[in-house]
Amino acid sequence: MNLLIRSAIVIDKKSEFHNDKVDILIKNGIISNIARSIKNSNNYKELKFDNLHVSVGWFDYSISCGQPGYEERDNMKNTLDVASKSGFTCIGIQPNTNPVIDKRSEIEYIKLLSSDNIVTAHPIGSLTKKSEGNKLSEIFDMGEGGAIAFGDYKRSIKNPNILKLALQYSNNSNYPILSFPNTMDISENGVVNENVTSTVLGLNPIPSFSEHLNIQRDLTILEYAGGKLHIPTISTEKSCELIRNAKKRGLNVTCSTTIHNLFFDDQYLSGYNTNFKVLPPLRSLADIESLKTAVKDGTIDLVTCDHNPLNIELKDLEFENAAFGTIGLESCFGALNKLFSTKSAIQILTRGRSIFLLNSSTISIGESADITLFNPNYDYIFSENEIFSKSKNSIFKNTKLKGRVYGIISNNKVKLNV
């Protein structure tokens, strides 16, 4: 794959060309030259777009696919296509399939489904057998097969000894152990944040402290066992404080939040729109401000779109009975770029691979071309026309967003949206 990118502003702090407007020459998937102006002596295909910006390819570790077992929600081929159209060159695939991904053969199957694609997909193995929380999965074998982390998607680890054993294993393997922060004995049957809104709407609440209890327990176990703990999708001010203090004490803990928990508060639930039913639930405005601060100061390591396609039969129900979850790949950049400066949004989208021991490139001569092309100044209202997922359960429908993805370059391939 040979290309010449014209007049692109580089957003990459690791690159010597950061903030410069340059031409980028790519030969056989490798960046061979970067300069103010490059002569196209070999008549390579040229890419030139309005207000073109480029960065290292974006990464999100929490993507649900559906295949195998839930192909009515989506499949691997389309999920990778959605990721590419949304600017992502690398994604993690969650194990919430049928069967649950808890064996090496299933890890290898996911890798086979995603092989030879412009988007690189890395499977996450289930921490416990069938994600039932009773017995550790075959962690070593799955790691050998290509798993990058282990966790039970949206299911907390009820048995503390299981988390202890998993963290002790990660002392040597360095794989992140994911522990979803939700104390089920407290939040059971809850569907929304415990607040004035839950009382007004008459919906069962999920108290914030159901998240805090789980995090406090997990940090205590981490302090004892060592290892590498990742706490996915925190949602409250107190959670930020707990993790910030744990990091100051030197504990090996990382965490994420979701883009929708940064964008929407629980007042958006007034219309009983089930696309706003997510887990963790939408919290208060005070929580949102604390989450934003934690993203900026690095307490929160990753922001995920937590892409979870669900067919209409699971969403077109009474609020109490609808499933938790929203798709998010297509709207992620536009939402982040709306909340933060473009440079901050790109930093968020490109950080975090090291947590999962994944290589990260840079826009420099001699590097493999792993690039996202975009226009940060494109304002629009996100509608169903922007949804490429098979399922349409987007929390961002009819929301004003900012930023347009032109395409990606990765794995010696190029894919454009225009």
Closest CA to 263 of 230, 295, 297: 295
> Contact, 146 vs 111, CB < 8 A?
yes
Select which of 60, 218, 265, 306 is catalytic: 306
Environment class of 309 (CB within 10 Å of its CB; exposed 0-12, middle 13-18, buried 19+): buried
Phi and psi angles of residue 167, each rounded to the nearest 5 degrees, phi first: -65, -40
> Contact, 333 vs 342, CB < 8 A?
no
Closest CA to 329 of 144, 16, 93, 7: 93
Please tell me whether residue 253 adopts helix, strand or coil conformation.
Answer: strand
Plot region of 226 (φ>0 → left; ψ -120 to 50 → alpha; else → beta): left
Can you state the percent helix, strand and coil of the chain, rounding each to 5?
35, 25, 40
Length of the chain (residues): 418
CA pair distance 281, 286, nearest whole angstrom: 14
Determine whether 306 is an active site residue. Answer: yes
Closest CA to 61 of 312, 231, 292, 268: 231
Q: Checking DSSP bridges between strand 371-382 and strand 399-410, what pairing results, if any?
A: antiparallel
Distances from the Cα of 378 to the Cαs of 54, 137, 330, 382, in angstroms? Answer: 15, 45, 14, 12
Beta-carbon contacts of residue 355 (< 8 Å; ≥ 6 apart): 61, 176, 230, 254, 301, 302
Active site residues: 306
